[in-house]
Amino acid sequence: MKISKELDRQTFKDKSQTQEDCHRFLAELKWSSGYSCNRCNPEKYIKGKQPFSKRCSKCGFDESTSSGTLSHKLKFGIDKAFEMLYEITISKKGANSIWLAEHFNVNQTKAWGFRQKVQLAMQSSDQFPLERDVHVDEFEIGTPQKREQGRSKVKKR
Ligand SMILES: [Zn+2]
C-alpha cells in the first residue's frame, strides 16, 4: 500500500490508531513483496522479539518494522509521526512546517526537519515514503533550537 492521495484519511487512521497498528502497517509496507533476510537473504523467518518484527531462521537477525524506514529513530511517537507523514504526503505542497508544528504540537524546527526528510524520501523513492530502501538513520528529532523571533509567520488556513 502506498501512502498517497489514493489512501484515504479514514483508512490511514484505522491503520495507525495505536502503536501496534503502526507497527503492523509498517510491516505490511516493508514486506509487501515478501520477506528476505537483510543479512543473509533466505526467505524463512520466525516471529521476532519486537512488535511485528521478523527474525531470520538461519542467522537469527531480528529485523524491526521500522529499520530502514522513515520512522527509524524517531524522537517523537510513531503515531504522531504517522499522522504528520500522512498530512505531508497528501498535501500538494507538503504541509508547511508552521502549520504542522501547531497542529501536532511539536517544535517548528522538528516539524520542518521531519518534513524535509519526508520530501527527500519521496523524491528518492518515487512517492514511496516508507519504502525499505529509504535510510534516514541519522534522523533525530529532539534538538531544541531557538524559534525565530520577531515577525509572526503564522498563516491562517
Ligand atoms: Zn539471515
d(CA 47, CA 60): 10
CA of 34 to the centre of ligand 1 (A): 14
Task: Report pLDDT for 153.
Answer: 45
CA of 100 to the centre of ligand 1 (A): 39
Percent of the chain with pLDDT over 90: 11
CA of 134 to the centre of ligand 1 (A): 20
Q: What pLDDT, in 10s, does the model give residues 32-71? A: 778 889 889 888 999 999 889 999 999 999 998 876 655 5
Task: Report pLDDT for 47.
Answer: 94
Q: Which three cell numbers stand for residue 11?
A: 483508512
Task: Report pLDDT for 44.
Answer: 94
pTM above 0.85? no
Task: Report pLDDT for 50.
Answer: 86
**Is the model's pLDDT at 131 over the cut of 90?**
no
The pLDDT mean for the chain works out to 71
